[in-house]
Amino acid sequence: PRVTHLSLTGAQITDQAFEHIAQLKGLETLSLTNAAVTGAGFAKLEEMPRLSQMHLRNCARFAAESLAHLSQLGALQTLSLQE
């Protein structure tokens, strides 16, 4: 089966976890809460052809660099940022 939606919570979600997430080429929706991911992690998602929705909540390390990488996602239609 192909994973299309993934929801992760916790500070253990770091840039290194995104190496594995980026391999889920069929992923359409990614939701992160309280993750410690930086721009380097988000850069690994640039090659995800189907990722159309991202929901980020309390991701304190999200910055302008992260947004620049997400702008490279051609399928991204929804980006939700919550503090």
- pTM recorded for the entire structure: 0.92
| DSSP code, position 15 | H
pLDDT tens-digit map of 36-56: 999 999 999 998 999 999 999
Averaged pLDDT score across all residues of the chain: 94
The mean per-residue pLDDT over the stretch 12-28 comes to: 94
4 vs 23, 45, 61, 62, 77, CA distance in Å? 12, 14, 25, 23, 15
| Residue 40: closest CA among 11, 12, 81, 69 | 69
pLDDT for residue 15 is more than 80? yes
- At 59, list the tokens: 């991701």
